[in-house]
Amino acid sequence: NAGVTQTPKFQVLKTGQSMTLQCAQDMNHEYMSWYRQDPGMGLRLIHYSVGAGITDQGEVPNGYNVSRSTTEDFPLRLLSAAPSQTSVYFCASRSGVRNTIYFGEGSWLTVV
């Protein structure tokens, strides 16, 4: 079972570059979300989606865009990368019935 798959695992960007972090899940979960994790800050919610075509902002949405065209995919776009976006990014999904969250393995992003 693949579960939640994130790509790439590691990425280095220059300030001002754009990129997309990919996330896919094969569990037919309605709910998907993106978190960033910084030292001493825990996991902070960036954006989330409760189903295809529906997205909403989390705690730290600035600088990030998302879309949910299918149930399976939930990409996170950085339009103009900034050093403050250096972090570990986790994609997660859960079903609407059970609240257990399944995380991807993470994407380590460095912006220089």
**Residue 41 DSSP code:** T
Question: Does residue 89 bind other proteins (CB under 8 A)?
Answer: no
Question: Does residue 33 bind other proteins (CB under 8 A)?
Answer: yes
Question: Does residue 104 bind other proteins (CB under 8 A)?
Answer: yes
Cβ count within 10 A of residue 89: 22
Residue 23: name the closest of 56, 57, 47, 39 by CA.
47
Question: Does residue 74 bind other proteins (CB under 8 A)?
Answer: no
Q: Which stretch binds other proteins (CB under 8 A): 20-28, 62-70, 71-79, 93-101?
A: 93-101
